[in-house]
Amino acid sequence: MGIVLDLTNLLTKPIGSVEKFDIRESVQFPKEEIDLVAPIEGQITLTRLDNGIFANFDLKTKAKFTCARCLKEFEKELDLKFEQEFYPETENQKEEKEEGNVFFFSPVKKQLDVTELIRQELILKIPIKPLCSPECQGIEK
């Protein structure tokens, strides 16, 4: 499925309130994009702002890559440490959402879906030339 945070509690609290979420979720993205072989785990800390939510991500997972030199498959741990602001979703903002740079939460459902953001951050982490080790000698002759 995905990683969806329940904002029921945070949205009733005053501005500046903080809530931590422990995450351990198996998420599958299209394999041609990134092949995760471990759950996404760690912590997401949300802070309520007057006009939105500030999120601090401290997560890790593992993905399978194919070495660009020897063509062997190997697994590599990926750290996901980043920050992002989210704004309350309204009808007018539906179009902006398509742009992909602005992220929203649903004040009606009181949910924050971070799956798409995590997908984008993971894709940024994919090495252009993945190597099983820096000393990889390539295909044996």
Please report, as ranges, the residues that interact with Zn ion according to CB under 5 A. Answer: 67, 69-70, 132, 136
- Tell the smallest beta-carbon distance from residue 87 to Zn ion (Å): 44
Distance, CA of 141 to CA of 139 (rounded, Å):
6
Three-state secondary structure call for residue 28: coil
- Tell the smallest beta-carbon distance from residue 81 to Zn ion (Å): 27
| C-beta closer to Zn ion: residue 92 or 137 | 137
Neighbours of 79 (CB within 10 A): 11
- Tell the smallest beta-carbon distance from residue 139 to Zn ion (Å): 9
* H or E segment to which residue 87 belongs: strand 73-88
| C-beta closer to Zn ion: residue 27 or 68 | 68
| C-beta closer to Zn ion: residue 98 or 135 | 135
| C-beta closer to Zn ion: residue 38 or 67 | 67
- Tell the smallest beta-carbon distance from residue 73 to Zn ion (Å): 10
- Tell the smallest beta-carbon distance from residue 136 to Zn ion (Å): 3
| C-beta closer to Zn ion: residue 76 or 119 | 76
Distance, CA of 65 to CA of 74 (rounded, Å):
5
Distance, CA of 57 to CA of 116 (rounded, Å):
14
Distance, CA of 118 to CA of 42 (rounded, Å):
13
Compute CA distances 91 → 62, 88, 114, whole Å. 37, 10, 19
